[in-house]
Structure 1
Amino acid sequence: MSEIRSLYGLEILDSRGWPTIKATCTLSSRAYASASIPSGRSTGTAEAWELRDGDQARYRGRGCRQAADNINTIINQALRGRDITSQQDLDQALCELDGSPNKSRLGANAILAVSISFARAQARERGISLYRHFSELLEEPVTHFPRLTINLFSGGRHAGRQVAIQDVLMVPSGASSIDESLVTMSNIYQTAADQTYETYGMRLLTADEGGQAPPFESSEVMLEAAVAAIEGAGYRPGEDVHLAIDVASSHFYRDGQYELDQRRLQPGEMIEHLCRWRSRYPIVSLEDGLAEDDWLHWPHLCEALGNTTLILGDDLLCTNPERIVRAIHSGACNGLLLKVNQIGTLSEAITAHRLARQAGWQVTVSVRSGETEDDWAADLAVGWSADQFKNGSITQSERLAKYNRLLEIEAGERLPIRPWPRVLKPGHTRHL
């Protein structure tokens, strides 16, 4: 049991220069901790609501002063001096205080900042590492480090929409540690930068998450360049390194069709197109291969590729337990992309995680395009024994903060890294 002494919220800036929230929780024991909350650019319509000020004179309406003020007034007044029995107790109190179905009254950004800062303060009060505390909240032991999926090239909303798909990521599947994974990725990243200069005569330009963003003519050219970078760095595509693709199909889905690189594809044709990519390139993971509301065709995609490929739901699921249950029963995918700020509290994210595990799915813990230098997501990925950790590229301090935290944990923990791939046969479901 912990008594909250005070809660303080502050508007800060994320990695894109847009406002976000930082909260500080002080307990009666005088243990205190802060947590900074990310923000997404490519967001699903079912995500919890980020509260923005709407004042066009400040940050084009994206200010977060009201969300910060909600922490300092409504939330602080309601919870100050209250004995909190558990993380679940705190998160339930926050949801009841908000009272809306999507956290729009107080703001999911304010609520999550308090949820994470309380967890970190409790870990400090107990004198244990944050990842150990996260593990205890989940009630499962830490068994391994996550396999990294690291951005190499970006398009879509993360870059200049020069191609439709959002990200091509490297999976250092042959690496046996976090350290070796980062060495592999660094070699590939620098090789890609050299090849980009040779091909396009341009200096290195990066997207929101640090991925390179050359003016590719099509998504296929981007995939070919990724394979060339792997080979140019001295690695074997499909053996030492695989590819993961964030298709982000919702952003080019119009009137029941997919507008992919100047082509209009029916859903069945889109699935066939992804199957051709899978046969041609060493792809082991497809994220949001179809649009978030194209529920009819997701099971067909999973049936076609789910025995060889991780079919990840991001916008489809939004870390929302109700949508996860629907996807399990329909056989829509075999993996959850877990973003805590999509649902708004740690406790609700735990529910989402458990549902995915009960179904036999893999879980990829992911950060957002608008990040801060806070590293709690790395502790979460380790503490919840994620299968994968998606953190962006290996440039930019908001990304490196998490990778450096993983290196720090690895230096003190003798844990294996998650082997890849390990996916289910398509259509696998369990009764919940």
Structure 2
Amino acid sequence: MTIIKQLSAWEILDSRGRPTVKARCTLNSGAVGVVSVPSGASTGAAEAHELRDNDPARYRGFGCRKAVANINSEINAALVDRSIDDQHELDALLLALDATTNKSRLGANAILAVSLAFSRAVALEQGRPLYQHFATMQGLELSTLPRPTINLFSGGKHAGGQVDIQDVLLVPASAQTMDEALAVTFAVYQSAAELTLKKYGTRSLTADEGGLAPPFPNTETMLADAVEAIELAGYRAGHDVALAIDVASSHFYQDGVYNLDHEQLTSSALIERLASWLRRYPLVSIEDGLAEDDWDNWPALYTRISPQALVLGDDFLCTNPARIQRAIANQAANALLLKVNQIGTLSEAARACQLARLAQWRVTISARSGETEDDWLADLAVGWAGDQIKIGSITHGERLAKYNRLLEIENETHLPLAAWPGTSLRGI
């Protein structure tokens, strides 16, 4: 039994300068868990509801004082001095207290902050690392570290829309340790910065998640420049370093048409465009290749590209068990991008992860565009045996906090990097 002595919260700023929530959970034992939660810019329509103040005179309506007040008052009053068996019971109490389908009354940001702060406090109370606590929660043994997929170039909502798709990411495929993966990424990133300075005359200005964001004329150029940067760094594209893309198709989908690179494409035409990129570039993962509600065409996307690449769902799935079950039944994807704040509690995210595993999907644990310096995501990805982790680029302190935590965990555990799906070696 664990007894909560006090819950408190306050407003802080995320990596975009927007408010978010930080919470403290103090247990009767004296253990204290403090957590800050992220916020997304590229958000799916099915995500749990972030409670914002909507006061245009303060942070243009993005303030989180209401969510903070809900923790300090109603949630604290409901949970203080309660004997709680485990994370599942705590989260069930939070869901019952909110009593909405999307956490809109108390706010998913308030609920998640409490859920995570409680978990960190319990880990401290039990004297074990947070990653081990997360593993125990899922009944898992520690086995590998997640292989990073790391932002190189950004577009879409993360970079002012200079190109339609959201991200091109590096997959350090032949790296056998996290240390090696980050060193390889650094070399490619620097080559990319030099390349874009030469081609576009741009300094190393970065997008929300740290990716470089020069004025690419189209997606093809973005992909070709990524390959060139890999080769300039002295690596073999498709062997030492592969690519992944976050298409974020919902953001250029309107009235049944995809507006990509100044063309209007049907769902079938977009699938063929993605397939052509697979043939010509070393792509191993395609995220949100179709819009979040284009359900009828996701099975065709899966059939077309799954033999060569992961069909990864982000906005499409929203870490939502009901959407994941539907996608499994329809054979619409084979990988889940897991963002805990899309669903709002650790227990629900754990259920989403379990469903994906039962379907033999791969799981990528992901950060958000609006992040904080908190590093709990690294522990979650290790504890929940994430196949991949998506944090952002190797710039910006809120990203580096998580990469540095992964290096620390690697130093403690000596765990190997997870193999890429379908390979017997750690590299592709």
Residue 90 of structure 1 deviates from its aligned partner by: 0.2
Distance in 1 between the 2:62 and 2:146 partners? 34
Shift of 1:201: 1.4
- Can you list the C-alpha shifts for 1:378-408, whole angstroms capped at 9, x where unaligned? 0000001100000000000000000000000
Q: Give the structure 2 partner of residue 248 of structure 1.
A: 248
What is the one-letter code of the residue matched to 1:208?
D
Q: Give runs of aligned pairs for residues 195-210 of structure 1, distance below 5 A.
A: 195-210=195-210
**Secondary structure in structure 2 of the residue aligned to 1:78:** helix
Question: How far apart are the structure 1 equivalents of 2:378 and 2:58?
Answer: 32
- Write the letter of the residue equivalent to 1:343: I
Asked if the contact 1:48–1:102 (Cα under 8 Å) also holds between the matched residues in 2, the reply is yes
Map 1:339-418 → 2, pairs under 5 A: 339-418=339-418
CA contact (8 A) 1:54 1:61 kept: yes
Whether the aligned pair in 2 keeps the contact of 1:147 and 1:417 (CA below 8 Å) is: yes
Match of 1:429 in 2: none
1:67 aligns with 2:63: no
Between the aligned partners of 2:66 and 2:42, the Cα distance in structure 1 is 23
Could you list the per-position Cα deviations for residues 301-348 of structure 1 after superposition, in whole angstroms to 9, with x for gaps in the alignment?
Answer: 100111111000000100000000000000000000000000000000
Task: Say yes or no: does 1:25 pair with 2:52.
Answer: no
TM-aligned CA deviation for residue 422 of structure 1: 2.8
Residues 7 and 80, structure 1, Cα contact 8 Å, conserved in 2: yes
User: For residues 130 and 154 of structure 1, what CA distance do their matches in structure 2 show?
Assistant: 31
- Structure 1, unmatched stretches of 5+, are 424-432
TM-aligned CA deviation for residue 157 of structure 1:
0.2
Partners of 2:363 and 2:151 lie apart in 1 by 18
The alignment partner of 1:328 has SS state of helix
Preserved contact between residue 38 and residue 372 of structure 1 (Cα < 8 Å): yes
CA shift, 1:278, in A, is 0.3
Partner of residue 135, structure 2: 135
Alpha-carbon distance in structure 2 between the residues aligned to 1:201 and 1:262: 24
Once residues 347 and 152 of structure 1 are traced to their aligned partners in structure 2, the CA distance between those partners, rounded to angstroms, is 32
Segments of 4+ in structure 1 off by > 6 A?
none
TM-superposed CA distance for 1:224, in Å, is 0.5
Letter paired with 2:99:
G
- For 1:51, give the aligned amino acid: L
Amino acid across the alignment from 1:396:
H
SS of the residue aligned with 1:222? helix
Write the letter of the residue equivalent to 1:219.
Answer: T
Q: Which residue identity lines up with residue 115 of structure 2 in the other structure?
A: S
Question: What do the CA deviations read for 1:159-200 (whole angstroms, capped 9, x no partner)?
Answer: 010110000000000000000000000000011001111111
Checking the alignment, whether the CA contact within 8 Å between 1:284 and 1:421 is kept in structure 2 is no
Mapped partners of 1:396, 1:188: distance in 2: 17
Q: 1:421 Cα deviation (Å)?
A: 3.3
Give me the CA root mean square deviation. 0.7
Residue 86 (structure 1) aligns with: 86
Deviations 1:114-143 (A, max 9, x none): 000000000000110000000001111111
Q: TM-score, normalised by structure 1?
A: 0.97
Q: 1:7 aligns to what?
A: 7
2:239 equivalent in structure 1: 239
- TM-score, normalisation: structure 2: 0.98
- What is the CA–CA distance in structure 1 between the aligned matches of 2:227 and 2:271, rounded to whole Å? 22
Residue 289 of structure 1 aligns with an amino acid whose one-letter code is G
Matched letter for residue 416 of structure 1: P
Is contact 2:278–2:308 with CA below 8 Å preserved after alignment? Answer: no
Residue 34 (structure 1) aligns with: 34
Q: Does 1:97 align with 2:100?
A: no
8 Å CA contact retained: 2:11, 2:68: yes
Q: Is the 8 A contact 1:112 1:346 kept in 2?
A: yes
Q: Deviations over 1:285-305 (max 9, x none)?
A: 000000000000000010011
Measure the CA separation in 2 of the matches of 1:219 and 1:400.
27
- Structure 2: which amino acid aligns with 1:104? S
Letter in 2 for 1:340: V
Amino acid at match of 1:113: A
**Equivalent position SS for 2:21:** strand
- Name the SS of the counterpart of 2:296 in structure 1: coil
Question: 1: distance between equivalents of 2:286 and 2:202?
Answer: 29
Inter-partner Cα distance in structure 1 for 2:412 and 2:300: 44
Find the aligned partners of 1:180 and 1:187 in 2 and give their Cα distance. Answer: 11
Instruction: Check whether the contact 2:338–2:366 (CA below 8 A) recurs between aligned residues.
Output: yes
Q: Is the 8 A contact 2:91 2:115 kept in 1?
A: yes
Q: Which amino acid aligns with 2:143?
A: T
Provide the residue aligned with 2:426 in structure 1. none
1:281 paired residue number? 281
Paired residue for 1:290? 290
Q: Which residue of structure 1 lines up, in the alignment, with residue 333 of structure 2?
A: 333
Shift of 1:203: 1.0
Residue 218 of structure 2 corresponds to residue 218 of structure 1: yes
Q: Is there any run of 5+ residues in structure 2 with no aligned partner, and where?
A: 424-428
2:194 alignment counterpart? 194
Q: CA deviation at 1:416?
A: 1.5
Structure 1 CA distance for aligned equivalents of residues 422 and 76 of structure 2: 44
Equivalent AA in structure 1 for residue 239 of structure 2: E
Paired residue secondary structure (2:44):
coil
Q: Any idea what SS the aligned residue of 2:199 has?
A: helix
Distance 1:422 1:214 in 2: 34
Deviation at 1:85, TM superposition (A): 0.6
Q: Distance in 1 between matches of 2:386 and 2:326?
A: 22
Give the residue type in structure 2 aligned to 1:312. L
Aligned mates of 1:421, 1:385 — CA distance in 2: 14
Whether the aligned pair in 2 keeps the contact of 1:171 and 1:242 (CA below 8 Å) is yes
Partner Cα separation in structure 2 for residue 304 and residue 200 of structure 1: 35
Taking the aligned partners of 1:72 and 1:419, their CA distance within structure 2 comes to: 44
Residue pair 1:165, 1:219 contacting (<8 A) in 2 also: yes
- In the TM superposition, what is the alpha-carbon distance from 1:37 to its structure 2 partner? 0.2
Per the TM alignment, residue 414 of structure 1 is displaced from its structure 2 partner at its CA by 2.1
SS of residue matched to 1:296: helix
Q: Is the contact between residue 24 and residue 33 of structure 1 (CA under 8 Å) also seen in structure 2?
A: yes
| SS across alignment from 2:9 | strand
